[in-house]
Chains A and B, each alone.
Chain A
Amino acid sequence: MSLFIIVALPFFGALLPGLMNPAGRSATAGVTFTVTLSAFIGLLTNLPAIIAGEVVTARIDWMPLLGLNFTLMLDGLGFFFAMLILGIGLLIIAYARQYLSREDNMGEFLTYLLLFQGAMVGIVLSDNILLLLIFWELTSLSSFLLIGYWKHLPEGRQGARMALTVTGMGGLAMIGGMLILGNIVGSYDLSVILQNRELIQADPLYLPALILILLGCFTKSAQFPFHFWLPHAMAAPTPVSAYLHSATMVKAGIFLMARMWPVLSGTPEWFVIVTTAGLITMVLGAVIAVFKHDLKALLAFSTVSHLGLITMLLGTGTAFGAMAAVFHILNHATFKAALFMSAGIVDHEAHTRDIRRLGGLRKLMPVTFAIVTLAALSMAGIPFLNGFLSKEMMLEEATHTVLFDLPLLVPVLATIGSLFSAAYCFRLISHTFLGPVRDDYPSKPHDPNAAMWLPPALLIIPVIVIGVAPFLVEPFVRLVTYSVLGGAAEMPYAHLKIWHGFGPALYMSMIAVVGGLLVLALFRPALTLWDATPRPEAKTIFEALIAAVVDLARMLTLPLHNGAFSRYAAIATIWIVGAGYFAWRTGTASLADYPNQTTDPVLISGWAMLVAATLGMVFLHRNRFLSLILMGIVGLMVSVGFVFLSAPDLAMTQFTVEAVTIILMLLALNFLPERTPVESTVLRRMRDTVVAIAGGLAAFGMAYYFMLRDPVAPTISDFHLANSYKGGGGTNVVNVILVDFRGFDTFGEIIVLSIAALLIYALTEALLGGPIRARLLNRKPQRPQAGGVHPMMMVVLTRGMMPVALMVGFYIFLAGHNEPGGGFIAGLIVSIAVVMQYMASGFAWASDRLRYPYHGVIGAGVLVAGLTGIGSWFVSKPFLTSDFTYVRIPPFNEFELATAALFDVGVFLSVVGAVMLSLESFSRLARRKDSPESDYAMDIDPSRHDPEPQSAQEGV
């Protein structure tokens, strides 16, 4: 099966559990299981190629310019991890079906689980480090969702946040490291990077890259000093702990270290950092684990310790160490997942995970006891179980490792780690299962049904089989080790076998087991001693750190961001002007390319009116109605300016838009206070004036400078002028640009306009649907109402004008391709014609005569425009390719038919619909006032108490 499908299956499959939820919990789990099983089988189909030593790849260039390609690669190492992820995933899904209770949303849980699974498979199969980073972050996010799955538990939420913070920060560091690495090699493809060991290690940036990447690995794999998040993540449901925190996610860091092993390892820096971190983590985790009373916390720290062990093995940088690491990853995944699931079973049955409240479960839960005993003994390193074999190899490797010139340091610490490791395993067995049966369990425990204990039991099979007959997995371990080494080191000669003869490793193992039993025997005094020792609490430190960061952020943000819009606006203006000034001071100014053109008296008078109206708006802005009229003047002057400066299309657009804008603002002003009160201090007004003048001067300077100079790059306008008629079949270049050259932009713009109109409609609906409706109904008009609401003269005139206005609109639309005009302007003119009917004859009259709702008009417009664009697909041209032809119907002149005109119809319809829907929505707020047949019982209408007789509803 293609690698793409294997990675995609969990992601697409994640859609299914949610859909299947109503069908019941078993169906949901069944579907999820099938998805994972398909991916697993797909993976296995690649096994023959892997065994033959091939590397299976699949590639799509995604963003080649960024070096980001969707490249997947499956070699021995990737196969090994993918098999663990999918195989254990299958068991976890089956187990989760039993574990989750009725109250838990199974679909949600399994969706997260599949997302996580997909991301994990993505990490191990990526051949591009940028792609790997994306999947890496996806695992952080999906594990956040999984850890916090029980949203009602504060520990769950805190644990999820902590995990996300730590792994997220690590991921961020890793992005930096990976980018450096890609930069050194000149490619982001892993297969290329892995070939360049010498180049990378000789680069001065090797150390920063190494540290950043290791930060990512250490946080993910909970290595000291980032080990603290893992135990807190145990608030998650047990299937999550078993899956993420034993077999998969925490192994992602290990995976990456193994993946990068050929290029990063072997240097003193790698050796010191990785081996030290691994050793400390191993010993620390093991010691803490012994004294944990919560089963899952004990297992969590034991996981931390084992991850440390694997990290240390990778750190040694020898081929034998890598082989031992691979073998231990396999073994640890089997026994630890089984242990976690068993801990979940105990919790599920006894309703507690506290070891102090358990004991004697051997008789009550014999099956679980058997599973836990075998898995724990394997973890303790007892012969004939798989944990023993890899632990022996680890100890063997430790005897050859010299850190900081102290030959005994590593062996002694490794032995101590193993000793405590054995101790917590023994404690787990004896304190939970041995001893007398108690009668104070929170719930009477007994073995669960087979569906629940079968998943962990299945994992015990490899524990025993590998332990007894390691030669069975040896070819596979060698295969994986071979791809870890990647040619950077010779394959080790060692073989996996139970009996290596008497040697230091065996003695160290014996010491560890005997010492472990001793610690168990002396557990009570040891615990007292442990409780009396003061220890730094990682959680408190973490929280203090977070609090400090939050305080710092608040200190920086609050002065800038205090909820006052005017402050943001002022800061933004000052900043922009300042940046512009800086650019001006540091840049080079050229001499003017053109002289200032002579000024026309018409222009001067227009300028004077514009400036007067603008200043009037500033000084009289407290009178809102007056300032609105002044704004109309400004708009008019701008349109006149457009006429004067060779832009007839713009003038028409500006003019019509001005009309609808003013109508809209008037409608709104109807509900707003008439005056703006004096609120700001003189000082503040002075400050605003200074800011405003600075901004104005800057805009003036920029415009003046630019107008007298040629642009730095040649314009593309000549192309449009030259091709407008030849290619677009129209002589009005502006319109041809809109509907043809840049048709796709226009398409986007009408969609934006339509969305704005629909948004206004939705807001109106929300207002009218809530308590505000009553307020609007009870509203008293601010001004005295005119006697006749619908004056006769106006009604008669507008109705007469309607056909004329429509004809003008039609003409402007048709002329648009060759003369000034087009869909935008025609749409605005027709809208104004319709609005006049509303104003003259009243809302009710007009809407009674409305045949199509404006939403429909908008939709039709966008649809027509879109379908016109799609039409060009049928002649195998790209979206919105236009075509035109000339037709002559005998009595008329020859005229042009262009598909662009059809597109313009779409523009026209959307503009009409959008403008009308906006205005209609505003007037609907006011409409209630005048409609006597309101369906509201409390309709108190001030205008009905008017002494004047109410005019007829239609106004005529």
Chain B
Amino acid sequence: MEFLIASAIGVLTAAGIYLLLRLRTFPVILGISLLTYAVNVFLFTTGRVVIGAPPVLRDDIDFYTDPLPQALVLTAIVISFGMTAVVVMIGLGAFLGSDDDHVDDQVTPSNDGEKEGAK
């Protein structure tokens, strides 16, 4: 099971990084979102992976999963919404202002061989 979860984190990270390296705002934002999932799941699993023992206290149970990473990740999820919203807004504002949704600075020519990018 740990292998599955770890590989899911790996796939999410790889896809996130690939999209992060694209040249337009929208895929970059998607990439950041995927990375957020990966990071949240990773943080969550630092409390070990436990099935069927939610940290809600019951009289006759004395084994619970680790509540601390859950509390950390909960706020992280909510904050990541705020962050995504701000990034989307900035990207949107930039596109509406210049009719261009490149993430790279198009004024100084980069020596990346990307100069002839279609507008």
Q: What residues make up the interface of A, taking CB atoms closer than 8 Å to B?
A: 562-567, 569-570, 573, 594, 596-600, 603-604, 607, 610-611, 614-615, 617-618, 621, 624, 627-628, 631, 634-635, 638, 641-642, 644-650, 653-654, 657, 660-661, 664-665, 668-669, 671-673, 676-681, 683-684, 688-689, 691-693, 695-704, 706-708, 711, 715-717, 720-721, 724-725, 731-734, 737-738, 742, 745-746, 749, 752-753, 756-757, 759-760, 763-764, 766-767, 770, 772, 775-776, 818-820, 824, 828, 911, 914-915, 918, 921-922, 925
A564 touches B110 (CB 8 A): yes
B60 within 8 Å of A by Cβ?
A: no
A772 touches B97 (CB 8 A): yes
A646 touches B65 (CB 8 A): yes
B5 touches A707 (CB 8 A): yes
B81 touches A657 (CB 8 A): yes
Interface string of B69-96 (1 = CB under 8 A from A): 0110111011111111110111111011
A702–B48 Cα distance when bound, in Å, is 13
Nearest B residue to A818, CB-CB: B56
Q: Which of B3, B45, B114 contacts A679 (CB 8 A)?
A: B114
Q: Which of A566, A610, A657, A678 contacts B78 (CB 8 A)?
A: A657
Interface string of B27-71 (1 = CB under 8 A from A): 111100110011011101111111111111110000011111011
B17 touches A820 (CB 8 A): no
Indicate the member of B34, B55, B90 with the most A CB atoms within 10 Å: B55
Q: Which of B22, B53, B84, B85 contacts A621 (CB 8 A)?
A: B22
Known: A596-B1, A677-B118, A733-B56. A614 touches B45 (CB 8 A): no
A695 touches B17 (CB 8 A): yes
Chain B neighbourhood of A731, CB < 8 A: 56-58
Compute the total of residue contacts between A and B using a CB distance below 8 Å. 342
Chain B neighbourhood of A641, CB < 8 A: 5, 8, 41
Nearest A residue to B82, CB-CB: A756
B45 touches A703 (CB 8 A): yes
A332–B38 Cα distance when bound, in Å, is 69
A914–B75 Cα distance when bound, in Å, is 14
Q: What residues make up the interface of B, taking CB atoms closer than 8 Å to A?
A: 1-30, 33-34, 37-38, 40-42, 44-58, 64-68, 70-71, 73-75, 77-86, 88-93, 95-97, 101, 103-105, 107-108, 110-114, 117-118
Known: A646-B55, A772-B97. A720 touches B67 (CB 8 A): yes
A653–B81 Cα distance when bound, in Å, is 11
B19 touches A621 (CB 8 A): yes
Known: A569-B20, A703-B42, A703-B45. A753 touches B78 (CB 8 A): yes
Main SS class of interface, B: helix
B15 touches A617 (CB 8 A): yes
B4 touches A734 (CB 8 A): no
Distance in Å: Cβ of A601 to nearest Cβ of chain B: 11
Q: Which of B16, B17, B71, B104 contacts A564 (CB 8 A)?
A: B104
A749 touches B75 (CB 8 A): yes
A734 touches B110 (CB 8 A): no
Chain A neighbourhood of B5, CB < 8 A: 607, 641, 703, 707
Q: Which of A569, A715, A915 contacts B68 (CB 8 A)?
A: A715
A767–B45 Cα distance when bound, in Å, is 41
Query: Lowest 6 A-B CB distances belong to which pairs?
Result: A696-B14, A700-B10, A563-B105, A756-B82, A704-B6, A699-B13
A699–B50 Cα distance when bound, in Å, is 20
Q: Which of B28, B71, B78 contacts A734 (CB 8 A)?
A: B71
Nearest A residue to B92, CB-CB: A668
Chain B neighbourhood of A745, CB < 8 A: 75
A699 touches B9 (CB 8 A): yes
Chain B neighbourhood of A668, CB < 8 A: 88-89, 91-92
A646 touches B53 (CB 8 A): yes
Chain A neighbourhood of B57, CB < 8 A: 721, 724-725, 731-733
Chain A neighbourhood of B24, CB < 8 A: 676-677, 679
Distance in Å: Cβ of A176 to nearest Cβ of chain B: 37
A635 touches B15 (CB 8 A): no
B2 touches A708 (CB 8 A): yes
Nearest A residue to B25, CB-CB: A672
A684 touches B114 (CB 8 A): yes
Nearest A residue to B118, CB-CB: A677
Known: A610-B8, A614-B34, A664-B88. A642 touches B44 (CB 8 A): yes
Known: A737-B67, A753-B82. A732 touches B17 (CB 8 A): no
Would you list 29 pairs from A and B whose C-beta atoms are within 8 A, ordered by A residue? A563-B108, A565-B104, A569-B17, A573-B17, A607-B4, A607-B5, A618-B19, A621-B27, A631-B30, A634-B34, A634-B37, A642-B44, A646-B64, A647-B44, A657-B77, A664-B84, A677-B24, A684-B114, A691-B18, A692-B17, A699-B38, A699-B42, A753-B79, A760-B86, A767-B93, A772-B93, A820-B54, A824-B74, A925-B92
Q: Which of A604, A689, A734 contacts B55 (CB 8 A)?
A: A734
A646 touches B54 (CB 8 A): yes
A642–B54 Cα distance when bound, in Å, is 10
Main SS class of interface, A: helix
A697 touches B66 (CB 8 A): no
Nearest A residue to B74, CB-CB: A653
Chain A neighbourhood of B75, CB < 8 A: 738, 745-746, 749, 824
Indicate the member of B20, B27, B64, B85 with the most A CB atoms within 10 Å: B85
B70 touches A647 (CB 8 A): yes
Known: A562-B110, A638-B41, A749-B79. A692 touches B71 (CB 8 A): no
Q: Which of A631, A680, A775, A828 contacts B114 (CB 8 A)?
A: A680
Known: A657-B77, A732-B55, A775-B96. A720 touches B65 (CB 8 A): no
Distance in Å: Cβ of A297 to nearest Cβ of chain B: 42
Instruction: List 14 additional contacts besides A624-B26, A634-B37; criterion CB under 8 Å.
Output: A562-B111, A565-B28, A594-B48, A596-B2, A657-B81, A671-B95, A672-B92, A707-B6, A707-B49, A716-B68, A717-B66, A738-B71, A753-B78, A767-B96
A759 touches B86 (CB 8 A): yes
A707 touches B55 (CB 8 A): no
Distance in Å: Cβ of B29 to nearest Cβ of chain A: 8
B86 touches A689 (CB 8 A): no
Distance in Å: Cβ of B48 to nearest Cβ of chain A: 7
Chain A neighbourhood of B27, CB < 8 A: 621, 624, 627, 676
A615 touches B28 (CB 8 A): no
B68 touches A717 (CB 8 A): yes
Q: Which of B21, B64, B66, B88 contacts A569 (CB 8 A)?
A: B21
Known: A617-B15, A706-B45. A564 touches B105 (CB 8 A): yes
Nearest B residue to A709, CB-CB: B48
Chain B neighbourhood of A733, CB < 8 A: 55-57, 64, 67
A149–B71 Cα distance when bound, in Å, is 52
A599 touches B4 (CB 8 A): yes
B117 touches A564 (CB 8 A): no
A661–B108 Cα distance when bound, in Å, is 34
Chain A neighbourhood of B21, CB < 8 A: 566, 569-570, 688, 691-692
A703 touches B6 (CB 8 A): yes
A69–B35 Cα distance when bound, in Å, is 43
Distance in Å: Cβ of A771 to nearest Cβ of chain B: 9
Distance in Å: Cβ of A911 to nearest Cβ of chain B: 7
A697–B12 Cα distance when bound, in Å, is 10
Chain A neighbourhood of B112, CB < 8 A: 564, 566-567, 684
A646–B68 Cα distance when bound, in Å, is 13
A693–B14 Cα distance when bound, in Å, is 5
